[in-house]
Structure 1
């Protein structure tokens, strides 16, 4: 048995809507953090401890180092890590709760499956997933679903970065390719902090590979390469999950999809348009 791509889209949605909720900036500013990106980097990196900007850049991959350095390590001097983690978890509960109510499902089976799955994961070369596995496990179903989805999202994300590394793709290159393929926001360059020179260099490297044409549009070879990256990510991800865990997660995939659809219906999911 395998896990369909729709399963991973569901856990991605359940996890990442906390970054787009209208009050996310205010929540972290109340702890002493300054601005949206400081809250984002600190809250997502906090499971790793209080890492420096080099570690955050390496594990997040797609962000310009200059953007990370503006937030980290200053964030750790402004706010308490335990409070950041507690706020993050409560934010997860608050954001997905309306989606759960819209879905009208019993969260207990999904929460149980996610909770039992986390200790079985092979965490080799998966630092963000490992950091989340090491956090105290929520005891309530809502918190456990968000925590479990977050950990699995980071697990596949860590696997994805391993695949990108084997392809020799830098963070900016991966972003350029995603934009060209229409898979992310058109404003990705500005959102991730890349300068025009850095972005142009990424375009040139992909053109040299034959993945973009002279106008910067994705080529058939580039589209095939992007598809292979996703397929390889699925393969590497599943290689670290025991078969019985895969089966248990597949059994609650429909429930998690219902939650993710409810989250979208609640208005917490932004458009890439």
Structure 2
């Protein structure tokens, strides 16, 4: 009886897990959700039967945020439907399950003004995707890449040049390219001077020299995440505060090479910032 109802649900955020291609009940759900702004799909193998697919397309029109986590069997279809039917999308997250061709097609065909892209695709993201983003997504303000093994410095440099005037947040989490290509971070820093948030966490081989060479150019940083960067030392911390005068948040958990003396420097710097703020107030 419910499935035959034409009632529209006032739902803006929808999160589904474990859906299958044979789920006919999804037809009613998609048909009833015309006000969706955020859609999360986790470990999903389908978006419903044949009738459900057309209803799914109808609810994409106003979507602003989409998250696809471990949805390898449907990611191509969903991305293609988004590219064809959604102009309002501003944020896309795809983790653990993608398709090189499907993702490249989405980037090339999409007509939306994406502001945030967050990808964890170890074997499904390469330089072709970065070059396509540099051409079509130059309005990005946030780019987060995790465990992306196939990208190289060439792709990242091209991307940095294209996004030099707008990118405010960059994450290269557990990305081999950071250790493979000395000097890469320095080049990124020189091109991305408007960065306010930088996440280089879990790059265990990142050394002081490489980090410092980037921070020299990133004078506007307010947040810096270095969690799990085991080879950094006290030298990096001292340089951090010399270059970045606007830091408000620093994460150095699991940084074994940073000692108590450097922690005191951080505490002292943040205490000074708080005192100056109180005086201004």
TM-score by length of 2: 0.23
Higher percent of residues as helix: 1
Larger RCO: 1 or 2 (CA < 8 Å, sep 6+): 1
Q: Which has the larger radius of gyration?
A: 2
TM-score by length of 1: 0.24
